[in-house]
Amino acid sequence: MLVDFGRAGWLMKARQQPEKVRQAWDKVRTDGLMPTLEAVRSKLDEPLPLGYCNVGTVLEVSSGVTGFAVGDRVLSNGPHAEVVAVPMNLCARLPEGVSDDGAVFGVLGAIALQGLRLAAPTLGECFAVTGLGLIGLLTVQLLRASGCRVLGIDPDPYKASRARALGAEVVDLAQGQDPLAAAQLFSRGRGLDGVLITAATDSNEPVSQAAHMCRKRGRIILIGVAGLELNRADFYEKELTFQVSCSYGPGRYDASYEQAGHDYPVGFVRWTEQRNLEAVLDMMASGRLQTEGLITHRYPIEEAPRAYELLAGRSEPYLGILLEYSSGEHEITARTINLPSGDSRRAVRGNPGIAFIGAGNYAGRVLIPAFASSPVSLRSIASNSGRSAAHYGRKYGFAGVTTELDAVFAADDIDAVVVATRHESHAQYVTQALRAGKHVFVEKPLAMTGQEIEQIQATWLAADPAARPLVMVGFNRRFAPHIVRMKQLLRTVSEPMCMVATVNAGAVPEEHWTQDRNSGGGRIIGEVCHFIDLARFLAGSRITEARIQTLGAASESHGRSDDKATVTLAFEDGSWGVIHYLANGHRSFPKERIEVFCGGRILQLNNFRKLRGYGWGKFSNMNLWRQDKGQAACVRAFVDALTTAKGVPIPFEEIIEVARVTVTLAEAARH
């Protein structure tokens, strides 16, 4: 699927993802054509790791991991790579007697097993398996091991022959055999007890066909992909059960289980992703699940493109394709890699050396290009996995890539560190950089707790006053051309102002990391801080009071309340700021509107594209062809401060002030 999608042109990609197309059109209407095209190009340019089934030997075990030791042979649900870092709940130890070649099918076996658990077969029942690829053939064996009679259905004669060799009766669609008649005969005229669909097709036929094959109250489980335009009468008259199986079992798509390693109590959730992996491996150890006949091709990893050509070209029959890595020590266990294509600017004397920590979507789409177009030397880029860092490192000419952060802070040729990681690590990396004497550009927020803010401030104050590192937070909106013009106009008025910011933020799923209190801190910490800083900048006066009112109370019917809130700010000069941050609007409405009322005059900025002035004499409007929220100008201001020593773009005291106000408001919204 991924290979076919990657080879498709833009039109075919759009046809495959109509929902993404609708989102793109909404973005065009609100943000403009060019920002939308850049976002789409950036998304399509991101590398995707292929594969999710591998077997190897444990090299290292993190603290807190139990049940695994260095040297263990394990099956893991990680991407294809010579060295894989994977959470412990996505691993299973290999029993004695299970070969690497067999065990590597364990993840696919877990997919089949989860579908089987939903179907709940009992001894003596008869089932059909539609689609006899790898998962289908594993499903056939698991059903047989459960004491069931199995009918296999597939249009590929080769796959049908493999199912026959595994003990199934077969309907070879290529020979024109009628699956309904075969199912009626196979079930002794009673109808099948159930059908497991392991095919991959857009057609509605597999589900419709399954409904006609089943007896009354039969079970249909969709493990693969099929069209879902169902005929109610097919299901109503027989009272059929239809269910879609979710991959490997309970825990799938639950970040708490998969990434954080929190297991479900076995007394309440007997079978999870990991336990399903273990069960499949046990079946292999007992000899009841055979994989030898499923392997049709082998390639050394150096020839992996040939394997994907086989998948895409379908020039010959294939089932299991194994990628083999050479044994022994590997240089790729090194955590720092020099890139020979590194940017020649790194050799230019006087340019500050820049290191990036974090190589996510925003860093790759916005921050790295902005720094790459500035007079800096791109020295190092670091990320946890190294994959995204290597991609952007090669694309923008970094000298090297690393997953070893201590090396970044210790390097003599690195003058400034850009922190673009998840929010929970911002304060830690800022503090480390300051202690190492490095300047810091940290994407908002600066910190997530009051204690972290105090630690950053104390570390900064402890530095030599004559050589204190520069601290910059990515509050880009104050550098946007429209905001710069608004500030110029406001300087001509001596009266207090009132700023009203209406932010149509849009809903973010509850399970997204930004909503997690520990990882992202919530949207007030992560996003409202932008507008608190913007109000502070436009007022040009210290914040004396801050309040927040959320919309109703959090409940099952209304969801979160802290992303539907109004913030009011009072300033020392008598000005006011009001921020309506709302996640319950419609995406076709402009995302951000800034209005300033001051001295009988009004400024109104819509989505950082159109600024209108009312009562400002010669000034009436300022329109841009494309949206500009000031990201590039924000980076330029930081680099200029490094290279010319003209002063700080944002005073450190203001950064701390905005951080404290933001954290206080976030804590108030939670109570």
Q: Is the pLDDT of residue 166 over 90?
A: yes
Indicate whether 555 and 495 sit together in one domain: yes
Rounded to whole angstroms, the Cα distance separating 354 from 66 reads 38
Q: Check residue 469 and give its pLDDT.
A: 94
Mean pLDDT of the chain: 90
Q: Which residues pair with 581 in a beta bridge?
A: 503, 565
357-361, 517-521, 658-662: segment of lowest average pLDDT: 517-521
Q: What pairing do the DSSP bridges indicate for beta strands 73-76 and 149-154?
A: unpaired
- Which H/E stretch holds residue 456? helix 450-462
Indicate whether 77 and 182 sit together in one domain.
Answer: no
User: Are residues 600 and 521 part of one domain?
Assistant: yes
- Per residue in 511-536, is it b (16+ CB within 10 Å) or e — as a string? eeebbbeebbbbbbbbbbbbbbbbbb
Q: Are residues 19 and 155 in the same domain?
A: no
Q: What is the pTM of this model?
A: 0.82
Encoded tokens for 398: 């970094």
The 54-57 sheet, strands edge to edge: 54-57, 73-76, 91-93
Q: What is the DSSP string of 328-364?
A: S--GGG-SEEE-TT--GGGGSTTSPEEEEE--SHHII
In this prediction, what percent of the chain has a pLDDT beyond 70?
95
Q: pLDDT tens, 310-351?
A: 988 777 889 999 999 886 555 567 788 888 765 544 455 679
Mean pLDDT in residue range 654-663: 97
The torsion angles phi and psi of 149, rounded to 5 degrees, stand at -85, 140
- Write the DSSP string, 440-455: EEEPSPS-SSHHHHHH
Q: Which tokens hold the place of 637?
A: 């201001």
Contacts of 239 (CB under 8 A, 6+ apart): 216, 217
Backbone φ and ψ of 295, nearest 5°:
-90, 120
Q: Give the per-residue pLDDT at 315.
A: 75
Do 167 and 314 fall into the same domain? no
pLDDT value of residue 505:
92
pLDDT at position 183: 96
User: What local confidence, expressed as pLDDT, does residue 84 receive?
Assistant: 87
User: Given this model, what pLDDT does residue 508 score?
Assistant: 87
**Mean pLDDT within 599-614:** 95
Q: For the ranges 81-85, 112-116, 244-248, 411-415, which has the lowest average pLDDT?
A: 81-85
In this predicted structure, what is the pLDDT of residue 638?
Answer: 96
- Give CA–CA dist 198/179, Å, rounded: 16
Residue 116 belongs to some domain of the structure: yes
> At which of 10, 25, 45 does a domain end?
45
Q: Give CA–CA dist 399/405, Å, rounded.
A: 15
Distances (CA, A) of 320 to 53, 101, 152, 297, 310: 11, 10, 18, 7, 11
The answer to the question of residue 663 being in a domain is yes
With respect to residue 194, please indicate whether it lies within any of the assigned structural domains. Answer: yes
CATH number, domain containing residue 76: 3.90.180.10
The verdict on 389 and 269 lying in the same domain is no
Using alpha carbons only, give the angle 169, 298, 106 rounded to the nearest 5 degrees. Answer: 55
Q: Tell me, what CATH number does 356's domain have?
A: 3.40.50.720
**Spatial contact of 360 and 388, defined as CB atoms under 8 Å apart:** yes
Q: How confident is the model at residue 553 (pLDDT cuts 50, 70, 90)?
A: low
* Two tokens, residue 527: 């996003």
- Give the residue-averaged pLDDT of 525-538: 96
Residue 37 and residue 60 in one domain: no
Same domain, 100 and 118: no
Instruction: Answer yes or no: is 329 within a domain.
Output: no
Q: What is the DSSP string of 236-292?
A: HTTT-EEEE--TTSTTTT-HHHHTT--PPPTTT----HHHHHHHHHHHHHTTSS--G
* Residue 213 within any structural domain of the chain: yes
- Band (pLDDT 50/70/90 cuts) for residue 4 is confident
Q: Residue 419 and residue 457: Cα distance in Å, rounded?
A: 17
Partners of residue 391 on adjacent β-strands: none
Spatial distance between the Cα atoms of 89 and 254, rounded to a whole number of angstroms: 11
8 A C-beta contact, residue 198 and residue 112: yes
Q: What is the CA radius of gyration of the chain?
A: 30
Residue 31 has pLDDT above 70, yes or no: no
Q: Indicate whether 461 belongs to any domain.
A: no
Query: Is residue 261 domain-resident?
Result: yes
Say whether both 551 and 665 belong to one domain: yes
The reported pLDDT for the residue numbered 303 is 92
Report whether 177 contacts 207 (CB < 8 A).
Answer: no
Q: What one-letter code names the amino acid at 433?
A: A
The answer to whether 312 touches 7, Cβ cutoff 8 Å, is: yes
CATH number of the domain that residue 624 is part of: 3.30.360.10
Q: Confirm if 324 and 300 have CB atoms less than 8 A apart.
A: yes
* Secondary-structure percent of the chain, ordered helix, strand, coil, rounded to 5: 40, 20, 40
> Are 518 and 656 found together in one domain?
yes
Q: Which residues contact 297 (CB under 8 A, 6 or more apart)?
A: 307, 310, 318, 320, 321, 322
C-alpha triplet 117, 80, 41: angle, nearest 5°: 105
- Could you tell me where the beta strands, DSSP code E, fall in 406-465? 416-419, 439-442
Q: Give the number of domains in the chain.
A: 5
Q: Are residues 224 and 272 in the same domain?
A: no
491 and 610 inside one domain: yes
Structural domain includes residue 187: yes
d(CA 535, CA 146): 67
Domain interval for residue 238: 107-245
